[in-house]
Structure 1
Amino acid sequence: MSGLDARFDDALLLFYSEARDLLQQIEDALLWLEESPGDSEAINALFRAAHTIKGTAGVFNIGPVVSFTHQVESVLERVRQGQVPFDATLGALMLTCCDQIAALLADAEQGGSAAPPAEDLLARLAAYLEQQPPAPPAADPRIGTWHLSLRFRDDTFRNGFDPLSVIDYLATLGRVTILATIVERLPAWDAFDPESCFLGFELRLETEAMRADIEAAFEFLTDDCVVHILAPTRRAADFIALIEELDHEQRLGEILVGCGALSAEALAAALARQQQTTHPAPMLGEILVDQNHVAPEVLDAALKRQARAPVPQGRPDAGLFVRVAADKLDDLINLVGELVICGASATLQAQGSRNPDLIGTTAHLGRLVDEIRNGALALRMVRIGETFVRYRRVVHDISTELGKEVRLEIDGADTELDKSVVERIGDPLMHLVRNALDHGIEPAAQREARGKSAVGTITLAARHDSGSIVIEVGDDGRGLDGEVLLAKARERGQVAPGQVLSEAEKLELIFAPGFSTAAEVTNLSGRGVGMDVVRQNIEALRGSIKLSSVVGLGTRVEIRLPLTLAIIDGFLVKVGDGAFVIPLQAVTECLDANGTRLQGMAGAAGYIDLRGDVLAVLDLRAVFDVPGPAPSRRRIVVVRTGGGAMAGLMVDELLGEYQTVIKPLGKLFRQLRGISGSTVLGSGDVALILDVGVLVKMTAGQARDGWRPQIAGMGTGATSQEMSNG
């Protein structure tokens, strides 16, 4: 692939990514408008997002996206002008159009032509465009003549852009009345480089579009084209009127951007130029007029508006964001993990040398590695709200299909966790939301008969807790009846006829493989693929799931997950010749086993009196069938799960805190209970990472079920390659 093709592909990938973000913005705005149909800002946001998708697709010559989105944009423009009312029917149509644009984008990205036909949608859009708008009051036409001066840089072709596609797109905004090609930079024939661009254009454009609409054509050309857009003087009165309509005083640049006379990009460029000039620094307004970004009379109106109130002090600058490919972040995390292992090895060698200077240097290196690790992990942290908001559409569509009235409430949207966790939590959350819609929320008539609001509520919430993230999916529906679950389980032979279960155990039955309470198979339920798959997916992420319910009031599902799947803080212990890592956030305290009056030891399990409470203890020597005699003095590590359950893990020796780079287990070891992964120590040895949640459950069950070793002979001797490859 040539450098030109590679750069063009990079630009396309960026466009597709941003287009998907814009489609999400369109969905959010449409769902919001169903509740607040008169929100003009949401309507404007809809129009801007559709316009940006159309404009940028035009730059890349993606014709199907341009032509279809143009029709959507035209309908939205009529809504924005008050010529077409926004109602539920139009909202549903726009959501379907949003899906169609997504399909067209996906089809273009894959280079195919299999996008679903849109004739029906185009016909429905045309019906809105054919409606006769109310007669507007007599007024001067708002069409203005803009003068554009374009000078393309040498690398324009190499970066994958065609200047003529920009000209073609500008023609869709209005009418190009004058187009002059500037060839003064063309070199002599013997110095001519066919891969370099030496062209420039001077053109005039008659259009009703605002400056921001015109500049959208150059969104991906900021580094390849010098653009000067001279505003039409006949629009100055319009801008001044808009300035007077602003609902609060702002800074000069914000006023000009808010009324549409200036784009955010032009403002940023003018501010940058102002900062670069120091003898003396010119006023911002002087720069904007100098560069023909705004007319002098518009600037005067903005300055008068600004003078009505003092400029707020101490306002934070807008954040700057850089898009980074996910695989590059993954590579960075992998390298940081290797750096952590290498740093641990250097620390061991320094301690072995007993050289004070070397020990001090490696200690400083360790602190720097900690900071690098935390910074790298922070780069992968994303807000869970970006995932939660996608379920608004799911709730809207399924509740409509089921004939129910349901609203989605989101809490803790700013809670952050690793992007790899976010990517893998989507399917379990989708299943839980669909379950709540289908099984949980009752129809409006039933709810009203029970004294409830006709509109049901599904809640998605997230919070941090003890080094983990807790995600809750709740509803105020009919709840789960433990007796119904028990009867179904007995019918399936999963529970013996005379077996007595607690209420919590009855609810746990819903996690049995193939368990379903649906009376018939529908699009949403009754296929025997249910909560067991949800639990498997959660536990694959080293997480846990807990369910609670009250009949008639609703159900709540609590999912507890680690913040990251890459690197954790661990507590290193020794059992026999092998080392094990306990996640540090699960450790509450350490005890001397000899001083605890250990009682009731039967195989691997026993208990101690911990400050008046009974604490079950699990001997890891027995769990992992470690050979050899136990030392005379042993330790107990008290651990707590996210759900609050506690247990003691008896080990031979405490080795202290350890930064743990998580390595996946090979196929041979993936089904082992009590082990969630492995890590490589600074010495090069492999240490197993303990699954605290599973071990605590095993501890509670030992007295009842007896003990059978789970990992015979795995206390020592496994190599890194064996653990990774199985």
Structure 2
Amino acid sequence: MDLEQAMQTFLEEARELLGEMEGILLDIDPEHIDAEQLNALFRTMHTIKGSAGLFGLDEIVRFAHQAENLLDLLRDGQLRLDDELVGLLLRCHDHVKAMMQALADKADLSALRDEALLAALLGYLATPQAMQPPPAPPLRHSPPPAERWLLSLRFGPDVLRNGLDPSSFIRYLATLGEIEDICPISCNLPLSEDFNPETNYLRLELLYRSDIGEQAVNEVFDFVREDSELHIWPLRAAAAHLDEACASATPQEAADIRTAWQRLGAIDAIDSWQPPPVPPPAEPPPPPAAAPADSPRQAEAPHAAEAAPAPPEGRRQQESKFLKVEAGKLDSLINLIGELVIAGAAANLIARRSQQTQLVEATLTIANLIEQIRAGTLSMRMVQIGEIFQRFPRVVRDVSRELGKDIQLHIVGAETELDKSMVEKLADPLLHIVRNAIDHGIEPSDARLESGKPAQGNLWLNAYHESGSIVIEVADDGCGLNRGRILAKARERGLLGPDDEPPDEAVFQLIFEAGFSTADQVTNLSGRGVGMDVVRRGIEQLHGAIEIDSETNLGSTFRLRLPLTLAIIDGFLVDVGRSTFVLPLEAVVECIELPAGLPENGVHDCINLRGELLPLLHLGRFLELPPIAATRRNVVVAQYGERKAGLVVDALQGEFQTVIKPLGTLFSSQKAISGSTILGTGEVALILDVPALIQHACRKEAERFLHTIPPAACGAAEEPATPRSSP
């Protein structure tokens, strides 16, 4: 019995339920209340309370019980839902979430007790604010009379192996009512040599008094009902169900059940009931067609079908649809597949050198299977970005209320997937950008009305895939970035000269400098110049980039471009000098031959690619590698976002599955290199940072075009495009 594993499962389910609760509270409209939403809120807190009771977590049970009572009054229409009550329920959500975190950290739950919050809850429970005067019947908060129940509980034999303690259900029942008596049925306990400590042999007959109702009593056993035989009857009507309780019992067990029921007052001692006799061994029954119409076998068949209910197949299928796996095991599997990719490349190289046709075909088949395994395993690490986005409705609500602004959040593309390893690292950068948009971007309602805008501001979170990357946009319809103020602050700090007038893109990037802030005063939200610096560092660690579009009085858009995964990618091998480099295949558009006779005087580097001006970057000169004699040079046309550039290389090697290996701190300042990989020969090849290279090439070309360049200076790419996988 692994109680620690059961506790982890409880914590995960509780977090999911709390996330669902927060989402409902943020979406609910007090003017148009959906009964299903109220029921879902009640079920969330009721399930958490019930699960906590199984583990004896009395602090969580007590608080959740009060919150559950409040939600019960709310769904029954005895309380009016308003903004204040939504705020109180969000505080309850935060308190339960904090207790779950303390439980995970093995901290003392009693230290988190919030008397002020509990008093606010009890205030609502003591004086319900009725939406309208009820008719003649009294309000439901007057407790119904207590009922006495007879519970016949035979937990499944594997209940202990499943991490559940039968006594925890009894303890939880005691928190909802009074257990008057318990009679254990222990006649099925085996002898010492046959006793298995992990198997449950006990059956309990229990007398219980409570006012919670039959449905609530049944819900206590929801977690264990599937593999158990559980019966719950009012004590006054239990005698009629004695045969049902003993249907699957042995004769000795049936006699003990009868004795227990007499003790509990369910049947009289003079009752003439006798356990059914054990039938003697008989001859094999005749075929069904030869049986008489009124045979006992046919008469008993319907009863047997009723006594053994069909297993809940739908639930079993639903449970088997998903399998939770520890993240560390999945990471280890990814690493092993990476080593398998490298070993496969080495085997393929040896096969090609051997020139044995069958061996080459075998290695190609293995390589194809490895690629399928790689793709399938990487897809297991892909999660929807909605896992991040779902945190921000609460952030927008709380921050906007703190600033006195009316802001509506719109989420688009929450189903877009990215690597799970990037999810947690994206949370902080996105949080800073969202808070900055609320604080600096969107104006107060009165200022928006004066400028002809609606009083309510809008904030958008959008995600989509583009060119092998994931793009995340945070946009607002606020006042936009103030170019003049940013320039003044940059000149004040010495980041720009007094006469420098860079383009808007370069100006907007200045807000990511450490300590840079244009805020007039420091608040608890912003003004210290540290948030946006954290954003840039976080995105660069993920090998991503940030773009900013802003227009005065129309709003701003922060666009984050990130790779889909940081583990294994499809690469494109190129030779520069005597070195081999890898380009991400998703960034490669096409490959062409470098036009002959193109001047290389350093004044200009561009070609006319079918009517499009394509800036060139000679990787040999850029990386300061010694040149080699080559009869033909090639241009790899690479694209990142809306920008294109041509990377001039000496030779093309073709596609290659690339296992990304991190580089040490020695390369941390190298913007053009994003990682490394191991080739089939055992050599190390560097992975080039295509976004940085494209940005460098486009910036250099823009600087050159500040001067007048004759039209004839640019060569024309007359050669047809070469497939990107051809050497």
Q: TM range, normalised to the smaller chain?
A: 0.7 to 0.9
State the aligned residue count: 628
Match for residue 406 of structure 1? 407
What is the aligned partner in structure 1 of residue 599 from structure 2? 599
Partner of 1:198: 201
Q: 1:93 aligns to what?
A: 88
Amino acid at match of 1:23: L
Residue 360 of structure 2 is aligned to residue 359 of structure 1: yes
Q: CA deviation at 1:360?
A: 1.7
Partner of 1:679: 677
Residue 123 of structure 1 is matched in structure 2 by 119
Q: How does 1:138-217 map to 2 (within 5 A)?
A: 138=137, 148-153=151-156, 156-157=159-160, 160-176=163-179, 179-189=182-192, 192=195, 196-203=199-206, 214=217, 217=220
Distance 2:303 2:480 in 1: 66
Within 5 Å, give how 1:189-588 maps onto structure 2.
189=192, 192=195, 196-203=199-206, 214=217, 217-218=220-221, 221=224, 226-230=228-232, 290-291=307-308, 320-588=321-589
CA distance in 2, matches of 1:234, 1:577: 93
Q: Contact 2:56–2:171 (CA<8 Å) still a contact in 1?
A: no
2:722 maps to: none
- In the superposition, relative to structure 1, how do residues 591 and 49 fare at CA in structure 2: closer, same or farther (>3 Å)? same
C-alpha contact (below 8 Å) 1:152/1:197 kept by paired residues: yes
Instruction: Select the structure of larger CA radius of gyration.
Output: 2
Deviation at residue 684 of structure 1 after TM alignment: 1.5
Q: What is the aligned partner in structure 1 of residue 645 from structure 2?
A: 647
Deviations 1:396-453 (A, max 9, x none): 1111111111111111111111111222111111011101110111111111222222
Tell me what 1:300 maps to.
none
Residues 319 and 588 of structure 1: CA distance in aligned 2, closer, same or farther (over 3 Å): farther
3-state SS of 2:95 partner: helix
Distance in 1 separating the partners of 2:465 and 2:214: 44
What's the offset of the Cα at 1:23?
Answer: 0.8
Q: CA deviation at 1:525?
A: 0.5
Gaps of 5+ in 1: 236-278, 280-284, 295-315, 707-726
Look up the SS of the partner of 1:570 in the other structure.
strand
Contact 1:228–1:291 under 8 Å retained in 2: no
Query: 1:601 touches 1:607 (CA, 8 Å); kept in 2?
Result: no
Q: Deviation per CA, 1:127-185, whole angstroms, max 9, x where unpaired?
A: 11111566665499698776544334555456543321111112334454553322122
Moved more, 152-161 or 399-408: 152-161
For the pair 1:698 / 2:700, whether they are aligned, the reply is no
1:599–1:608 CA contact under 8 A, matched in 2 = no
Task: Give, in angstroms, the shift of residue 214 of structure 1.
Answer: 4.8
Q: CA deviation at 1:290?
A: 4.2
Residues 1:158 and 1:28: Cα distance change in structure 2 (over 3 Å)? same
* Worse-matched range after superposition: 152-161 or 86-95: 152-161
Q: Letter of the aligned partner of 2:115 in structure 1?
A: E
- Taking structure 2 as the reference length, the TM-score comes to 0.80
Aligned residue runs from structure 1 range 78-117, under 5 A: 78-113=73-108, 115-117=111-113
Match of 1:634 in 2: 633
How far did 1:501 drift? 2.2
Matched, 1:15 2:13: no
Once the two structures are overlaid, the 10-residue window that deviates more, 437-446 or 154-163, is 154-163
Q: 1:331 is paired with a residue of what secondary structure?
A: helix
User: Cα gap change, 1:319/1:559 in structure 2, threshold over 3 Å: closer, same or farther?
Assistant: farther
Look up the SS of the partner of 2:524 in the other structure. Answer: coil
Q: 2:277 matched to which residue of 1?
A: none
**Residue 476 of structure 1: how far off its partner (Å):** 1.1
Q: Which is further off, 196-205 or 78-87?
A: 196-205
SS in structure 2 at match of 1:689? strand
**1:639/1:648 contact within 8 Å kept:** yes
Amino acid at match of 1:10: Q
Residue 641 of structure 1 deviates from its aligned partner by 1.1
- The CA RMSD measured in Å over matched residues stands at 3.1
1:24 matched to which residue of 2?
A: 19
SS of the residue corresponding to residue 498 of structure 1 reads: coil
Match of 1:60 in 2: 55
Distance 1:48 1:210, change over 3 A: farther
2: CA distance between counterparts of 1:471 and 1:211? 50
Query: d(CA) in 2 for partners of 1:31 and 1:234?
Result: 46
Q: 1:611: how far off?
A: 2.4
Contact kept in structure 1, 2:638 and 2:645, CA below 8 Å: yes
Work out whether residues 150 and 235 of structure 2, in 8 Å CA contact, stay in contact via their aligned partners in 1.
no
CA-to-partner distance for each residue in 1:38-61, whole Å, 9 max, x for gaps? 221111111101111111111111
For residues 366 and 233 of structure 1, do their structure 2 counterparts lie closer, same or farther at Cα, with a shift above 3 Å needed?
farther
Matched-pair contact (CA < 8 Å) for 1:630–1:652: no
Paired letter, 1:121: L
1:541 deviation in Å?
0.9
The 1:286/1:656 distance shift into structure 2, 3 A limit, reads farther
| Segment drifting more, 472-481 vs 105-114 | 105-114
Q: Distance in 1 between matches of 2:590 and 2:145?
A: 74
- Does the alignment pair 1:42 with 2:43? no
Partner of 1:240: none
State the distance in 2 between where 1:415 and 1:457 align.
22
Partner of 1:689: 687
The 3-state SS of whatever aligns with 2:459 is strand
Structure 1 residues 401-410 or 152-161, which shifts more? 152-161
How far did 1:13 drift?
1.0
Counterpart of 1:617 in structure 2 is 616
Is 1:474–1:557's contact at 8 Å kept on the other side of the alignment? yes
* CA gap 1:628/1:613 in 2 versus in 1, 3 angstroms: closer
**Structure 2 letter corresponding to 1:79:** L
Equivalent residue letter for 1:613: E
Given that 1:640 and 1:646 are in contact with CA atoms closer than 8 Å, whether structure 2 keeps it comes out as: yes
CA contact (8 A) 1:228 1:292 kept: no
SS in 1 for 2:680: coil
Mark the CA change 1:579 to 1:149 in structure 2 (over 3 Å): closer, same or farther.
farther
Paired residue for 1:246?
none
> What percentage of residue pairs aligned between the two structures are identical?
46
Amino acid in the other structure paired with 2:620:
R
Deviation at 1:598, TM superposition (A): 2.6
Identify if the C-alpha distance between structure 1 residues 214 and 663 changes in structure 2 by more than 3 Å, giving closer, same or farther.
farther
**Aligned partners of 2:467 and 2:640 also within 8 Å:** no
Q: Give the secondary-structure state (helix, strand or coil) at the position aligned to 1:599.
A: coil
The more displaced of 60-69 and 198-207 is 198-207
Structure 1 residues 10 and 576, CA gap change in structure 2 (3 angstroms): same
For residues 401 and 236 of structure 2, what CA distance do their matches in structure 1 show? 48
Instruction: Tell me the secondary structure at the aligned position of residue 598 of structure 1.
Output: coil
| Unaligned residue ranges in structure 2 (runs of 5+) | 238-287, 289-301, 312-316, 705-727
CA distance in 1 between counterparts of 2:673 and 2:526 reads 33
**Distance in 1 separating the partners of 2:358 and 2:152:** 64
CA contact (8 A) 1:468 1:563 kept: yes
User: How far apart are the structure 2 equivalents of 1:17 and 1:597?
Assistant: 65
SS in 1 for 2:28: helix
Report if aligned partners of 1:565, 1:662 keep a CA contact under 8 Å in 2.
yes
Distance in 1 (CA, whole Å) between partners of 2:214 and 2:593 is 74
